[in-house]
Amino acid sequence: MTASPTNLDAFIAGLPAEVNVADIERQLSSMWQLAAETPGTSVTRASMGTLIVLCATETELETATGIARDLTAHHPCRILAVLHDHTQAAPALSATITAHCHLGIGGGKQVCSEQITVRATGSAVAQIPSVVESLLEADLPVTTWWTSPWPDTGTLRDRLLALSDRVCFDTSNWPPQARHPPAIRAVLRAYPRTAFHDLSWIRLAFWRALTAELFDSDAAAAELPALHTIEIQHGTAPGAAWRAQLYAVWLQHRLGRRLRTRLTQQDLPETGLLDICILSAQGRFQIHKLPNEQAVASVAHLPTLCELPRKRALAPSDPLSLLCAALDNPRPPADYRAVLEILAQP
């Protein structure tokens, strides 16, 4: 928990290490009833929906649980953290419950969200969809966060995607062989009413907005039909080359035509995009990450335009910030499906 100990802590501490899956709702009801009936307790249960967190390893589960805990301060929800472990042959299904509490605005009541952690191994993995479905918050949105690449096929993937209003995933952290545009496109096509949020795409929102700003002036906008080349430099951080490719295809999609594209990699392990330069017959439009700063500068170079570089602090790109951005926007991200369609073409 993130607030001072409450009677909820005592209740959870008194639970057995594992709760019978069929007994989860009863245990949760007892926990909140105790909180409501205890004198001097100021706890409010809050939920805006269900967040399903799918993890393939204990390490992923531990990391994702910490992020989800912090997420409930911004988006209170029921968390269903699910470990689907195919590496162990012996079938097993277990669950634990806990609560995450945050002080309300002004230090008033503690606002608490519940977390149910389900671990399944071996053939018991097949039971996950039915267990998850039985634990969803009724009539509230369902968001599924896949912390690793979703399976190529299978009941687990298909049933959980069918339950979801939103799906969050991060192709930057996928291995290159899993980052296959036709396969991703096929999943998105199969669920046209689901809002898919690729955290890689959300990372690019900052760069796309700066690109639009470069062409705000009449002189710069007049150069749009004459743009002919995109040059992008990037580091070797996970998914950096992939995001450079997504950006280049996005720009061409917005322009409605192909441009010459040059992607250059620099040996900088902690760096994503470094420099974007868009060339026209008369001008150069550039966004450049400033050395040793968490900021970028953007500027349009034209014979008829004299402007100073615009400096912007880099937008947060940690998983918590990206997930909050996804949950703040219930709509499918603009242009993402169109870019995937282009990338999936032979």
Which candidate, 7, 215, 246, places its Cα nearest to that of 110? 7
Q: What is the pLDDT of residue 15?
A: 45
Q: How many CB atoms lie within 10 A of CB 182?
A: 12
The whole model's pTM is what? 0.88
In whole angstroms, what is the distance from residue 3 CA to residue 7 CA? 12
Q: Where are the alpha helices (DSSP H) in 44-180?
A: 58-71, 128-134, 155-163
For the stretch 250-283, pLDDT in tens is: 999 999 999 999 999 999 998 999 999 999 988 9
pLDDT of 68 strictly over 60:
yes
In whole angstroms, what is the distance from residue 133 CA to residue 162 CA? 11
Going from N- to C-terminal start, the domains of the chain cover: 7-164, 203-313
| Structure token digits, residue 201 | 């795409």
pLDDT of 2 strictly over 70:
no
In whole angstroms, what is the distance from residue 296 CA to residue 287 CA? 7
For the stretch 38-59, pLDDT in tens is: 555 566 777 789 999 999 999 9
Confidence of residue 209 (pLDDT cuts 50, 70, 90): very high
In whole angstroms, what is the distance from residue 82 CA to residue 42 CA? 30
Q: Lowest-confidence range among 82-91, 94-103, 336-345?
A: 94-103
Return mean pLDDT, the chain.
87
